[in-house]
Structure 1
Amino acid sequence: MTETRRVALLARPGEACERLRAALAEAGGEIVLEADPSTLAAETLRASSPQVVLIALEPSVEVALDRFDSVLGDPSVAVIFDEAELAARRTGWDAARWTRHLRAKLSGSDDVLPPGREPEHDMLPLPGRPPSPGQRDADVPLASFANEAETVAPQVPSEPVVGEPKRASIFGELSLVDDAPVDTTDAAATASNEAADALFKNDLEDLQRRIAAMDFSDAPAAASAPAAVGSAHARGAVLILAGIGGPDAVRQILTALPQTFSLPVLISQRLDGGRYDRLVQQMARATSLPVHLAEAGVVAAGGNIYIVPPELGVAESDNTLRFVANAPLLAGLPASDSAIFLLSGSDPATVDAAMAHAARGALVAGQAPEGCYDGAAPNALIARGGNAGSPADLVQQLLKRWPA
């Protein structure tokens, strides 16, 4: 039986506090303290002996958190942040999803799926039900569903129609328009489709033969080897892309990084309010490494963490990696000596560019979808052959590639 966790809820009175209180009750948390952090004494929080502290963030709350560092910095206390504005307007399906996420955090599990569900990136939405977070904006691998449909088609009961041609495929019988007849008698169209299929197959086989015959003797050094000291090119960086649900995973990664980690860590976290200075303060509590707000012209120094606003990117300059205004972030990384992590809530549109970097030697991985609040990008990465893991797994990959 799962142990009930003792939770301190720090939130100003209002809709956000009420919704978080209800979510905690449904998720199985025992609320031992509920208080407005702007007026709460640090001794009172410490005396409640919480195992988990849930904080509804807003400007007046953020400035009050410093006095709770002795509790929030305790490694035995799990700290969960939520934006008060988001919490206040979260209803219905989003509220249920957040409750699952919270239940997983309270139980120490990485699985935020509903009971009895398979991983969401392997499922199609049912009619009338919104898609799972892993399906929104992600490319769905239709071939797998087609193969499954072909397998189960003979088991589907049906009433044969007099004169109906032999059923070759379940998809040959479906129409996007109700009651529209399907023309299966056009032999010319059938022959044309078969010819197109044969041509595609020949082209694919030809491409495979050409790839197999290519000479890679002049290819760049193996991906596992970081750039040599004194290289003519700038060293790379670790780029962490995240959005809703991502701060928890980012925090876990930063907490696990040793002080001797050699690469700069760039965090591109999508925020509704755009308060990146607040994110700097939040992440500084999670790590022993220095955390900065990136600024144009500043060099990305190894062993430092940078919160990167959306208007900044990076570029090589004088054998260093600098932050540049109105420049690409992902595309500016030296691929052969960089890592790219796609966490919960990151933009699926970045997956293709990330995989292009992987082909040039970058370490590219996603957060395991079952631990994501919004797994669209990690799902899309997996569909393209990428790998994924828990935040702890991702840190181990980093330290294997770049030992501290």
Structure 2
Amino acid sequence: MHATDDTAKPVALLARAGAARDRLREALVAAGGRIVLEEDPNQLEPSALAAAAPQVVLVALEPAVEDALERLESVLETPELSLLFEEAELAARREGWEAQRWIRHLAAKLQGHGNVLPPGLEHEEAEPAIALEPGMPPRPADGHVDAPLQFHLDEAQVQAYDLPADEIYEAPARALAPRPEVLSFEELIAGAAQPVAAVPPPLPAEPVVVPVATESEAEPAKVPLGDFSSWSLLEDDGYEAAPAAASAVQVPPPALASLLNSELSLVEIDEGAAEGNGAVLLIAGIGGPDAVRRVLAGLPEDFARPVLVQLRLDGGRYANLVKQMARATPLPVTLADPGQNLVPGDVYILPDVIGVESSTEGLRFCAEANDLLEALQPDRSAVLMLSGADVALVAPVLEFAGKGGWVAGQIGEGCYDPAAASQLAVAGMRAGDPEYLAAELAVHCAA
């Protein structure tokens, strides 16, 4: 059911003339919107847009209107104004089921409700709720309140053999051994009268060789340890320190001594590379600009990882994309430049011809496109596959996750092409809307 003309929100449609504009106009009418202004952004003045007093502005994004949107920025940034962005190319070819689905989502945004189900399903009766009753629920013990004590004893004896045993505790062996037989006084006297086998005397101790160092390197003397007649606690004639046994302490050779005195470590730690080659990679395509904007808007100001945005643009106007993203996030947004080092907390728009490589100072951009996942350190990096991400990259991203990388994908409302992200969700990776992914990413990178 569409809103009436009195309750429908006034909408301004900003799009160049063509198929995209016609499709968006039809969608707005079907969604219950009241169009108060329909104009090409290149020919629209800010005063005319403000005079129309719309509450919602729907913009068809394409490279040809980027400069015009900057000119209308003062009006578009009005707090009371709700902005909806749609890619012109995608809107022009949306039809059938996909078009009806987008109209339902557009109607939910315009009318302020969350019902996006097809007609006929929005009034389905929910499952009946469980009727709550006052009082405590019945307990098993209540069934045996009046039972005699013997009933409980018999039940315990039956259940004892089915109870789990404690595998940690083992009874000592003496407790399991049979008790010794108690002998009478006469049996004890008879056992004592029996002859006891004589114990042979101990064998004399073998002489022990004690090495004694002398100046002439004489043979060590053999001193028997069994003779104690000459030993005493104190010698009155004076005390002489025994010569140090040179052979008892082995002095390592000079080369080994110098090696032992040096500072050794199993791993040489490079303090400059303590942070590792970590970064966050956002991969997007059709429907990606809005998803990237929402993710960047959810990142905190103290975000401690470089953020790489790989978004394919047919026109290649990445400079305008930098301006759009800079308005959505407190983080610095720049265009990647070959030879530039990646700085934690900065966002870089990555053109198709720019790659990333490792250097002694960390990660830096290079002039040739390469496999970005190979340059990133998995345990210090994360990958988000947003709307329109290339399905061919799913397998490498899952392999990256197997090495310890943090991987997630965008699904749900607003994701126009969730093919790649859905495969990540099936594989057990995190999935959700851009706001959820941004919050989870911030927690992961802060750990």
TM-score by length of 1: 0.64
Equivalent residue, structure 1, for 2:299: 257
Q: 1:258 to 1:365 in 2, by over 3 A?
A: same
Structure 2 counterpart of 1:392, which letter? E
Q: Which deviations, in whole Å up to 9, do the C-alpha atoms of 1:312-334 show, x marking residues without a partner?
A: 22221123211221211233222
Equivalent residue, structure 2, for 1:157: none
Equivalent residue, structure 2, for 1:281: 323
Conserved 8 A contact 2:322-2:349: yes
Q: Distance in 2 between matches of 1:104 and 1:367?
A: 20
CA RMSD of aligned residues (A): 3.1
Q: Distance in 2 between matches of 1:79 and 1:379?
A: 27
Please state whether the residue corresponding to 2:400 is helix, strand or coil.
helix
Q: Distance in 1 between matches of 2:112 and 2:37?
A: 20
Which range moves more in the overlay, 392-401 or 58-67? Answer: 58-67
Q: Distance in 1 between matches of 2:60 and 2:97?
A: 20
Tell me if 1:399 matches 2:442: yes
Q: CA deviation at 1:254?
A: 1.5
Q: 1:297 to 1:386 in 2, by over 3 A?
A: same
Please state whether the residue corresponding to 2:41 is helix, strand or coil.
coil
Where in structure 2 are the equivalents of 1:4-403 lying within 5 Å? 4-74=8-78, 76-103=80-107, 105-106=109-110, 114=118, 230-232=272-274, 234-324=276-366, 325-403=368-446
Q: Distance in 2 between matches of 1:302 and 1:274?
A: 26
Q: Distance in 1 between matches of 2:299 and 2:353?
A: 27
Conserved 8 A contact 1:293-1:307: yes
Q: Distance in 2 between matches of 1:356 and 1:108?
A: 41
Q: Distance in 2 between matches of 1:51 and 1:85?
A: 25
Conserved 8 A contact 1:239-1:268: yes
Q: 1:373 to 1:89 in 2, by over 3 A?
A: closer
Structure 2 counterpart of 1:390, which letter? D
Structure 2 counterpart of 1:353, which letter? P
Q: 1:235 to 1:10 in 2, by over 3 A?
A: same
Taking CA–CA contacts closer than 8 Å with sequence separation of 6 or more, which of the two structures ends up with the larger relative contact order? 1
Conserved 8 A contact 2:272-2:361: no
Q: 1:270 to 1:100 in 2, by over 3 A?
A: farther
Structure 1: which 5+ residue stretches go unaligned? Answer: 118-227
Q: Distance in 2 between matches of 1:109 and 1:395?
A: 24
Q: Where in structure 1 do 4 or more consecutive aligned residues deviate above 6 Å?
A: 108-113
Alignment length (residue pairs): 295
Please state whether the residue corresponding to 2:273 is helix, strand or coil.
coil
Q: CA deviation at 1:386?
A: 0.9
Structure 2: which 5+ residue stretches go unaligned? Answer: 122-269
Q: 1:59 to 1:273 in 2, by over 3 A?
A: closer
Q: CA deviation at 1:74?
A: 4.1
Q: CA deviation at 1:35?
A: 1.9
Q: Distance in 2 between matches of 1:309 and 1:116?
A: 46
Q: Distance in 1 between matches of 2:404 and 2:78?
A: 38
TM-score by length of 2: 0.59
Q: 1:363 to 1:29 in 2, by over 3 A?
A: farther
Q: CA deviation at 1:263?
A: 1.6
Q: CA deviation at 1:373?
A: 0.9
Q: 1:50 to 1:259 in 2, by over 3 A?
A: farther
Conserved 8 A contact 1:300-1:323: yes
Conserved 8 A contact 2:280-2:381: yes
Equivalent residue, structure 2, for 1:171: none
Q: Distance in 2 between matches of 1:42 and 1:389?
A: 37
Conserved 8 A contact 1:331-1:353: no
Q: CA deviation at 1:402?
A: 2.8
Conserved 8 A contact 2:378-2:403: yes
Q: Distance in 2 between matches of 1:28 and 1:267?
A: 36
Q: 1:249 to 1:6 in 2, by over 3 A?
A: farther
Conserved 8 A contact 1:5-1:51: yes
Conserved 8 A contact 1:378-1:388: yes
Q: 1:266 to 1:115 in 2, by over 3 A?
A: farther
